[in-house]
Amino acid sequence: MTPQQLNKCLQKFYLSARRRDGTFYNKKLLTAIRAALDRHLRSPPLNKPFSIVGDPLFTEANKTLSNYLKTFSLRGDIAPTTHKQALTKEVVEKLYDEGELVEFGTLNPGKLQQTAWIFISLFLGKRGRENQQTMKKTMLALRKTPAGEEYYEVSNERGAMLATKNHQGGLDDQDDESIQRPRSPCKSFNPAKDEVWFCSVPLGHNSLENMPRGMTTAVFDKSLDQGNHCDGFISSKLRESTHKSDNWSPK
């Protein structure tokens, strides 16, 4: 199929795409479908040299999609994107009080993982989880400022290990994945004595996807449902408070 033929096919596809129940996709989902198609076409084994998103060859298809979304949004046929309530400083404090977030001296591997995850999302810009499952132990490097203060930064160095002197539970060295499945306390595992707290198995996709929802619904039921995407999980006010105030920090 030539790019010109694909352009025509995409125009028809964008106008006819529906859910199984016949309802329309919203703007976010339909543009995500287009992005997924683009990645598929440009990846092996297809390796197409063009992009259906930004290539001028597909201007007509993209204009069709844009006009379609505007028209149906104005008519009310396409529901607007629903943004989840942002996570605030008060909510984080409540999560600490209820034990969903914990101090770094905890003996609970699962809660420690949740706490580490939220600070990776907060300080390293990992709000979306598209690539979190592929994160490696080598992604963080422990550095020191000229004044001797320690901090982490994202590193491309192969030897930079995800380690901290405050972290009492260890990742399994046989696997390079940083988000591993936490071990559950049992007769064969005692977190107070064992050095390895995580299995040599990556945390499942669904478990990672539901992490923010699991934390908030455990405390607030469904009154603060963060959904399965943490795009709005960290509020800008919370980010500002962590930089402007010394009163809030990891416990």
| Pairwise CA distance, residues 123 & 113, whole Å | 15
Tell which residue, 25, 27, 7, 9, has the closest CA to residue 17. 25
| Pairwise CA distance, residues 91 & 83, whole Å | 17
pLDDT tens per residue, range 110-140: 888 888 888 777 776 655 555 666 667 677 7
pLDDT tens per residue, range 13-53: 999 998 888 888 888 888 999 999 999 999 999 999 999 99
Q: Which of 118-127, 177-186, 241-250 has the lowest mean pLDDT?
A: 241-250
Q: First and final CA of the chain: distance in angstroms? A: 58
pLDDT tens per residue, range 188-244: 888 888 888 888 777 777 777 777 778 878 787 655 555 544 444 454 445 444 443
Is the pLDDT at 72 greater than 70? The verdict is yes
| Pairwise CA distance, residues 90 & 148, whole Å | 31
H/E stretch holding 143 reads strand 140-144
Question: Cβ(74)–Cβ(24) under 8 Å?
Answer: no
Report pLDDT for 245.
Answer: 39
According to DSSP, the residues that pair with 159 across neighbouring strands are none
Beta pairing class for 140-144 and 150-154: antiparallel
Looking at this protein, which amino acid is placed at residue 150? E
| Pairwise CA distance, residues 175 & 170, whole Å | 12
According to DSSP, the residues that pair with 143 across neighbouring strands are 151
> Is the backbone peptide bond immediately before 45 cis, with ω within 30 degrees of 0?
yes
Structure tokens at 243: 């930089």
Tell which residue, 177, 181, 161, 159, has the closest CA to residue 112. 181
> Is the backbone peptide bond immediately before 56 cis, with ω within 30 degrees of 0?
no
